[in-house]
Structure 1
Amino acid sequence: MIRLHHVPQSRSMRTLWLLHELGVTFDLLEWPFDKTLRSPEFLALNPAGRVPALEMDGRCLWETGALTEILCERFPEAGLGRAGQNAERADWLIWVHFAETISQHAAALTQQHEALYEDSMRSPIVMKIEAKRIEKCYQALETRLAGRAYLLEGGFSAADISCGQAVYMARHFTRLEPFEAAHAWYQRITGRPGFIASLPAGPGLYTRDYYEAWDG
């Protein structure tokens, strides 16, 4: 039995997309983005009080990068990982985990725009800095994707899922369109049924498609 504990549009969407691409049977349990994640019930699943939490093989696992590695190793026939001696293994690991570099900036902006309810709590400086940092992440993707359809020469992989989901969050704050190769790649991977199946059916973290810079 595989059960994913998920908040729509959060990092757990990365694991949800991967599960759909792997083609495995799983249960999905959605949680609200509120103090419920600090409840004893949820902390028994993920002691950090965050999603995702993945029940599999009689235990509960967490951390998206680790879950990506575990799931790709568990289901190698899907071809979404790059095993130990594969020539692309190091690049696969780099891009799987680069997703968190992107996500930390998107998370900071999510907090500024959505979690802080009073204007006095928000920082225009933080917002501008984090948006620029996302641009630098986009540039790293742009450089990598020049002349490539996917992040690895061997084709679509969990590295594309990891970075693609991080960009999905980041695009709420910083536009990807000026980065032509990265934008074309994003359009390519988000047309996949696995991505579409991972989109929220109802409300998620974000109340807007795009958040303009806030000047205080």
Structure 2
Amino acid sequence: MITLHHVPLARSFRVLWLLEELGQEFDIRYYSIRDVSMRTPEFLALSPAGRVPVLEHHGAVWFESGAIVQLLCETYPEAGLAPKPGSVERARYLEMLGYAETVGCLLENLNLNQVFLRPPAKPSAVVVKLLNARLRAALAAMEARLEGRYLLASGFSAADVAFAYGFELARYYVDLDAYPRLMTYWTRLQERPAYIRARARDGQQDIYTQEFYPVPEV
């Protein structure tokens, strides 16, 4: 009764991971970002923008990963993966969800410029350099602010799921060894049983064709 529409290594991985953290049983319907499978009338009826994730949840249809993360935490509050409204950590939690989208938008623009544009269309070296610098600055800010084991002092939350996905993908564009606190944090998250299960179900990604995309020369 729960079906996740998913592209391997796309933002839908956030939902896949969170569902595993919540201990929910669900099916996965796989798509590719490189074909027209997300442009069919059937899929567009579920996702107006033709993007994943889409979550069919007991008769409801939800799209947008940030919204789905919040909806799942509200639907299963007993898991304790989101601070309740009015709690001390609620503001920090919402800030981190928003910050995860800031990182995600920078990655999306780098993907468009360095992964999906092909000759004769060539990415602007100036634009890529600026995006890369902004991504490094965003990660550096989190490196400076991270003090505990997780983003919230109370422990692991859905904010970690949202942010850590972007940190993982940043490896295609920046040297993550420049952020030792975040690397320790990320290693800790990778050891979570739910993450291991989610990665096993993620599927074979066909977004990135190389291990690292350097900033092109101006």
Q: Which TM-score bucket, shorter chain as reference?
A: over 0.9
* Aligned match of 2:150: 150
* Aligned match of 1:17: 17
Q: Is the aligned partner of 1:48 residue 2:45? A: no
Q: CA deviation at 1:119?
A: 5.7
SS at match of 2:5: strand
> Per-residue displacement from partner, 1:16-66 (whole Å, max 9, x unpaired)?
111111111111111111322121111011111111001013121011111
Matches within 5 A, 1:31-180: 31-33=31-33, 34-118=35-119, 120-145=121-146, 147-180=147-180
Letter in 1 for 2:5: H
Letter in 2 for 1:98: Y
**Aligned partners of 1:69 and 1:28: how far apart in 2?**
20
* Aligned match of 2:3: 3
Distance 1:123 1:87, change over 3 A: same
* Aligned match of 1:30: 30
**Aligned partners of 1:59 and 1:134: how far apart in 2?**
35
**Aligned partners of 1:76 and 1:21: how far apart in 2?**
12
**Aligned partners of 1:20 and 1:95: how far apart in 2?**
21
Q: CA deviation at 1:213?
A: 2.0
Letter in 2 for 1:40: P
* Aligned match of 1:215: 217
**Aligned partners of 2:215 and 2:192: how far apart in 1?**
30
Letter in 2 for 1:206: Y
* Cα-Cα RMSD: 1.5
Q: CA deviation at 1:208?
A: 2.1
Which range moved further: 83-92 or 65-74?
Answer: 83-92
**Contact 1:105–1:134 at 8 Å: present in 2 too?**
yes
SS at match of 1:171: helix
Q: Is the aligned partner of 1:187 residue 2:187? A: yes
Q: Is the aligned partner of 1:201 residue 2:198? A: no
Distance 1:196 1:215, change over 3 A: farther
Percent same amino acid at aligned positions?
39
What TM-score, normalized to structure 1?
A: 0.94
**Contact 2:7–2:205 at 8 Å: present in 1 too?**
no
**Contact 1:150–1:185 at 8 Å: present in 2 too?**
yes
SS at match of 1:29: strand
| Runs of 4 or more above 6 Å deviation | none
What TM-score, normalized to structure 2?
A: 0.93
Letter in 1 for 2:177: E
Aligned residues: 215
Letter in 2 for 1:64: S
> Per-residue displacement from partner, 1:57-107 (whole Å, max 9, x unpaired)?
312101111111100111112221111122111111110121110011111
**Contact 1:138–1:176 at 8 Å: present in 2 too?**
no
**Aligned partners of 2:198 and 2:131: how far apart in 1?**
26
**Contact 1:103–1:170 at 8 Å: present in 2 too?**
no
**Aligned partners of 1:193 and 1:75: how far apart in 2?**
19
